[in-house]
Each structure stands twice: as C-alpha cells, then as structure tokens.
Chains A and B, each alone.
Chain A
C-alpha cells in the first residue's frame, strides 16, 4: 500500500493530496477540541507551503518541457488521463497558492470552527490542481470545483445580508461561462481525439473553428478574470466574502482565468489569437479606465480594493495579448504580485472591520493617531497597489506597458492612463482613512494590530519587496517556457 502511494506523495500530487488529507483528518475531530483543530490546520498548511518551493529548487530553468510529470489513468475511452506537471509558467502559481492558504487560515484563526478550515483546504488543493494540468478536462473539472467551496465560504461566513445574492452571482456567472468551455473542450476532444494540450499544440484546427473555440474559452475565462461586461460578480463577491475569502478570491481565483488564457487560449489557437487581440484590448482598456474611475466614487473599502483588482487583472490581459516576451513575462509577474498585494489590502481592511464593524469610508479618519502599526502596513500595501517602483507590481506593469507599446501604442497610452487613475485613488483612499480628523463618534475601540495579524502581514511584505528589488529569480525560471510559447505561436 505504502509503496503504491509513495511515488504519488513524493511528487506533485502529494501537494494536492496533503490539504485534502488534512481536511479529512479534521473532519473526524469534534468541534469541541478547537486547539487541536487549529494546530492541525496551521501545520498542514505550513507543511504544504514549505513543500512547494522544493519544486522551485529542483526546477530546471533551461527547458520548456513540463517537469515532475505524473500520469494516472482515469477514463479509458476518450483518452483522458489524470496528467499533471509543472513548467515555468505554472511553477509560481502553485507556490502562490500554498503561500496564501496558511495566511487565510491565520486570518480566521480564532473566529471560526472546523468547517471553515476544511473549506479552505479544499480551496487550496483545487487551485493547485488547476495550475498544473496537462489535460484540458482535468483543468476544467478542477476549475469548476473551486466554485462549490467558494459558494459556501461566501454564503455562510460572509458579512452582510447581501451575501446570498453575492454567492449566487458568483456561482451562476462562473458556471455559465465555463459550461461553454466544457462544450469547447468536448468538441476538441472529439476533433483531435485527445485532450492533452501538448498534443493539441501540434493539432491544426481550421481557422473558423479556432475562432469559435476561442470564443467559447473566452466566455469562461473572461468571467473569471473578470473582463468588463461580466465583472459585476467580483466586487459583490469580494465585498460580501469574509476576509480570508477575499484573499482567496483576489489572490488565487482571479488568476485562474488569466492562467487559462495563457496556457490554453494563446498557444492552442495561434491563428485565432491575432484576430482576438482587439477584442481583448478594447474591453481591457475600458475595464482599466472604467474601474479606476469607479474606485474613486465607491464608499465601501473592500469594493474599492475589488475594483482596483479588476483594473490590475485587465492589465494582465493586455500584457498577455501583446504576445511578446516582455508582455507575457510582465503579465505573469503582475499576476504573481497581484496575489499578495490585494490580499494584504483585504487583510488590512479585515483588521479594521474586526475592530470597528464598518467598512464605510466616511466613518474612518485619523486612524494614525490611534493605531500606528496598521496604517504603516496599509501605506505599504497601498503604494504596492499603485505600483510604486521597488515593489513587485512595478516589475509587472512596466514590462506590460513596454510589450503593449510594441504592439499597439494607443492601447499602451490608454493603459498608462489607467495607471495614473489608479495612483489617483489609492492615496486618496489612504488619506481619507488614515489621516484627517479622528472621528471619535464612530470609532469606539482603539486597539492596534495584535501579534498574529502582524505576522500575517510579514510574508506579504517580504514577498513584495523581494520581487520588486530582485525579480531575476522569478523571471529566469519562466523565461524558457514563455519564449517557447511565443515561438510556438510565431507571433513576433
């Protein structure tokens, strides 16, 4: 038995199975033994996190092949296997996911019971599986599976009365889009006889079909990204979710769509992709400007963060579809940096909400005089959010603009406008919350961050600065894979 399990454990799927195993163990522990449950969850998630960089260390930079490949036979007849592996693109997403999960668990460490922990473990292991599939159908299955625990998380532990609506919106929007992708996947698997993307890369579809399939994939991914007409679910879900839920939403789930674009849409339909660049650029630019403007007039702290995260994700799509190496690497690094940055912001807001039980900006003000540590961290994450040079977002956004400029200077100009607007709302928000008159009528408790919360923020800060100052370690791993991707499509 152990010998059968050992190869799975030693390699990639161990990291998928570990959180699931943890959640199974927690399931049988009664709710009364809270300390045991907490200890078990935090250690399991930490072990998973510590386990994930081992791939990074063992990773070979000079090949575009998938590494740590594993295959398990699943279904006999449509040639669908449980087939996973990592390449330069997906490596850091896996690490990002394992990085964020212990933080999510720490955020809700004392307030929730075991169901919460289980939900988060499930939420961890499914995205890990999404980020490393070598099979379209497996990718689809795990992409969709995430929505069940997320639905529960938003609906049960969400904050206000609109949470049900938010959960519904989240669920139905994402389901609607992705079922069209399911049709496309089935069609591909009938057409080509396989769903292995590596084989599909060499399969030639007719151009007409490519465009149709491309639209079907777009329907799913654009909801997850989210692009502009279908972005409504994100602010709602983001606002109503508990703090850790927004960390997962902004940090991981919004990456699923862009990752899907990068992994499947761009390389698999190389002829359709150039047709689609205007179709991507236009909504992205609209989204960047529109959501940046929207943030200015929002009064809910979390909604502001949610809209600014929509703007960032649309930056990512612009970079991705500039189809050159700078653009794509920039978009990957922006995705990576966008993992910790809005998560840190959400955690800041979550900490404020825990103390004052409101998220309306009007009630805040002059926080700097009562709680000194929190505004410091808030300042840091705000400046990272508006991509100050030296932080990781700058490493992402700058190459994106360079890449986009080579492709289409108008788009780059408009996107840069979005950067200005983004920089406009962030300091303003910070100003309104932290400086100004202290409003003692509304704010009754004055407690600064406790030790647990400061610990939560430390890894965010470390990651952001590390990536902002010395991005080479991240870029060198993905370089081969990305250039392979670009060469495959012959875009340049």
Chain B
C-alpha cells in the first residue's frame, strides 16, 4: 500500500529509542540485588554496571548504523531487529547464573550475529565472513556446551552458586587431579569462551570476519559481545571456580594475544583487519587483569574494558564516517592527507590512536596503567614486561595512522563525505 518503503531508518529510530528506554529501566530498576527465575538469573551491582554499559555501547553502535544504512541503500530493517535481539540476550548473559542459562543466552546472541555478518547478500566477502563466523562460532559453542555437560556430569549441578560450593578448595591441578572430569569440563568451557573473545590460539576467524562483514556488523559484534562475555567469564572463573590453574591458562593466553596482536597488526594495510588484530591485542591486555584474579586485577579489567569499548566505538564511528564516493575506506593509505581535507576527523582519529597506543594524557594510558599495576601487584612481572614491550611495538602501527593523516601527501586527494 505504501509503495514498499525502505523501513530501515523508520525501524532504526524506535530501536534506538527502545535501547534508551531500556537504559532508563535498568537504571531505575527496583531489583537492585536479587536472584530471579529459580536462581537462573542474578542481579547485583556487577551486572547492573555491565548492563548499563552494554546498553550504552549498543546505543552508540546503532547511532553509527543509521547513517550507514541510508547511504548504502540497504533495505534490511531486520538488521536493526537483529541488533536489538542480541542486545537482549547479552543482557541475559551478563546476569546468567546457571550454565544452561548462560549457554542459551550466548547461543541466541551468536545466532543473530551470524545473520548480521552475512547480511550483505550481494557481496562475496560478507557471505564468506558469515559462513566462517557461523562455522567457528558453532564449533566453539559446541565446545562450551561439552564443557558444561561434563561439569554437570561430574558434579550434578549447573547453578553457579552450587558449583561454587562444590568447587571451592578443589585443587584441580593438572596432575594430582582429584577429578579429571571437572578439569576437562572447565578447560572446555574456557576454550569455548576464548573462541568467543578472539583470544590468541582461537583467534583465526577474527581478522577475516572483521574484514568481510559489513562495517556496521563488525562494529556490533566487536564491541558489545566483548563486554558481555568478559562479564560472563568473570562470573564463571572468578566466582564459581576460582582456581590458580585457570589463571595460568589466562596468563599464557594473554601473553600470546599481546604478542600476536602487536606483531600481526604491524603488517596489515587494511583498516578493518588492523582493527581486528588490535582488538586481539587488547583482549590480551585485558586478560592481564584476569590472570591476576585480585581485586585490583578485576577492577583494572573493568576499567580497561570500558576504555577499550569507548575507543573502539570512536574508531568505528570514524571508519563509518569516512566514505569516498560510494564505498567505505578499505586501506589505511586511503586516509592520506585527512588532516588537510577534514582536520576535525583527523584530530579525533589520531587522539583515538594515541589512546589505543597508551600515551599518557589519554584514557588508554589509564587502562594500561591500571592493568600493569594489577599485574605487578600480584607478582606477574613477566606479564607486565611483555605488556610493556608489545605496547611499544603496537605503538608503531597506531602512530602510522597519524603519520598517514598528517605527514603524507598522497597522489590522489580523496574527498570524503562528511
């Protein structure tokens, strides 16, 4: 009747509005501390903080997307719905208090993201990225589920509260294990989680998927899930099975992530691929806080996540804002002489980059400072040392952005639509 109008923006604005209303609702929620739905969900200060934070990041992602949909003339209002759905499931994830609830929430979230990743049907890259993401995501969920079932099989409980009671003081070291079943179970859970946050031995999908998917999709699944999965991991590994063994696992993983993130990103020349590797590296930095397991460690992890998300939102907004003729920028070299053509964007992007690199008066420095502080506080000197060295290395490619924008004068002056 209405000439089949493209509904993307019409759906997008109420979508954004609904996210904002949700923020209000969560913020003024009467349930400050509670266990819900037969102990399947929990609400405490931690979930409260994470949920507000998650909703804020979703809102900013949606703001970025709206313009993109219009200019790309994508008529797919489903993708707005598909951003709202995983947001809801991530809210569940943050407050999940039972391994079944956790798994279900993760699955719902991932399913939506698979669809978004493959949403641009006429582009081969997007299809391929969606396929890869689906395969590896499903695989990792399988591993996670297997871990949950082993835990259930050997303990008989799925609830985190009871799990915590059983596993306290359990001494699940690799040899001398009292129950190798529980050990394997938690190991599988850890691996599943590590897949989801693109930690290093399980990072294979991230660069391809980041690059291939539409940029809005990349923004939505590189920012928000990091918060929710880190929150979830904190819940599982700090509360219900607090054990030095896992910390060793995270220790190695964080070292590997930092090194790979720093070295691999150096050789990239595409913006999104570089961002993928940089996010791998940053997840490594965040895991420094994890591998300490002290109060400072977790505080620094949360601070680090907050700052990282802020910076990433900024950079993705920038990448989405820079369009030449009809496509988004692909190569870093396309940024040449941005300082002349669009100085404000250039300043913003270079501030974001310096902040990623952790140069003092900016926020990224604070996050790194807290993380190293925590690492030294718990005696993980090696971790701090490697963190320092890799952050110098990664500085090299972050300031390459600045160099390209300010110092280079390219042959072709590319004008961007503001």
Contacts and interface: CB of A to CB of B under 8 A. Distances in A.
A65 to B, nearest CB: 28
A164 B396 CA distance: 12
Interface string A160-187: 0001100110011001100110110011
A186 B388 contact: no
Given A156-B406, A172-B392, A189 B373 contact: yes
B391 A172 contact: no
Given A144-B359, A175-B395, A155 B403 contact: yes
Contacts of A164: 403, 407
A211 interface: no
Contact of A141 (B360, B373, B396): B360
Given A148-B354, A183-B376, A187-B376, A168 B388 contact: no
A186 B395 contact: no
B238 interface: no
A187 B374 CA distance: 10
A217 to B, nearest CB: 14
Interface string A423-459: 0000000000000000000000000000000000000
B340 to A, nearest CB: 11
A78 interface: yes
Interface residues of A, number: 30
Given A141-B365, A142-B360, A171-B399, A180 B388 contact: yes
Contacts of A186: 369, 372-373, 376, 384
Interface centre among A142, A145, A156, A163 (most CB of B within 10 A): A145
Contacts of B373: 78, 186, 189-190
B176 interface: no
Contacts of A143: 360
A182 B392 CA distance: 12
B406 A183 contact: no
Contacts of A187: 376
A147 interface: yes
B369 A179 contact: no
A167 B377 CA distance: 35
A182 B388 contact: yes
Contact of B407 (A167, A171, A183, A190): A167
B17 interface: no
B361 A141 contact: yes
A137 B370 CA distance: 12
B31 interface: no
Nearest to A176: B392
B146 to A, nearest CB: 40
Given A164-B407, A172-B395, A144 B360 contact: yes
B255 to A, nearest CB: 16
A163 B407 contact: yes
Given A155-B407, A180-B388, A190-B373, A171 B395 contact: yes
Given A145-B360, A151-B399, A182 B407 contact: no
A152 interface: yes
Contacts of B395: 171-172, 175
B388 A183 contact: yes
A23 to B, nearest CB: 13
Contacts, number: 70
Contact of A152 (B360, B384, B392, B406): B406
Nearest to A152: B406
Contact of A190 (B339, B377, B392, B406): B377
A145 B388 contact: no
A140 interface: yes
Contacts of B402: 151-152, 155
Interface string B387-403: 01101100110010011
Interface string B349-387: 000001000011100010001001100110000001100
A168 B399 contact: yes
Interface string A117-140: 000000000000000000001001
Contacts of B396: 168, 172
A175 B392 contact: yes
Specify which of B339, B359, B385, B389 lies most central, judged by the most chain A CB atoms within 10 Å of its CB: B359
Interface centre among A164, A167, A183 (most CB of B within 10 A): A183
A147 B359 contact: yes
Nearest to B295: A77
A441 B5 CA distance: 74
B368 to A, nearest CB: 8
Contact of A168 (B361, B392, B403, B406): B403
Contacts of A141: 360-361, 365
Which residue, A152, A155, A182, has most C-beta atoms of chain B within 10 A? A182
Interface in A176-212: 176, 179-180, 182-183, 186-187, 189-190
Contacts of A148: 354, 359, 361
B369 A190 contact: no
Contacts of A78: 373
B337 to A, nearest CB: 12
Contacts of A145: 359-361
Contact of B406 (A147, A155, A189): A155
A144 B364 CA distance: 13
A335 B336 CA distance: 40
A140 B358 CA distance: 13
A180 B372 CA distance: 11
B3 to A, nearest CB: 46
Contacts of A137: 369
A164 B403 CA distance: 7
A180 B386 CA distance: 11
Nearest to B406: A156
Interface in A226-266: none
Nearest to B395: A175
Interface string B332-352: 000000010000000000000
Nearest to A189: B373
7 closest A-B pairs (Cβ-Cβ)? A144-B360, A141-B360, A179-B388, A145-B361, A155-B407, A145-B360, A186-B373
16 contacts: A137-B369, A140-B360, A141-B361, A142-B361, A145-B359, A155-B403, A155-B407, A156-B407, A164-B407, A167-B407, A168-B403, A171-B395, A180-B388, A182-B372, A183-B385, A186-B376
Interface of A: 78, 137, 140-145, 147-148, 151-152, 155-156, 163-164, 167-168, 171-172, 175-176, 179-180, 182-183, 186-187, 189-190
Given A186-B373, A190-B373, 11 more contacts: A140-B360, A141-B365, A142-B360, A144-B360, A171-B399, A172-B392, A175-B392, A182-B369, A182-B388, A183-B384, A187-B376
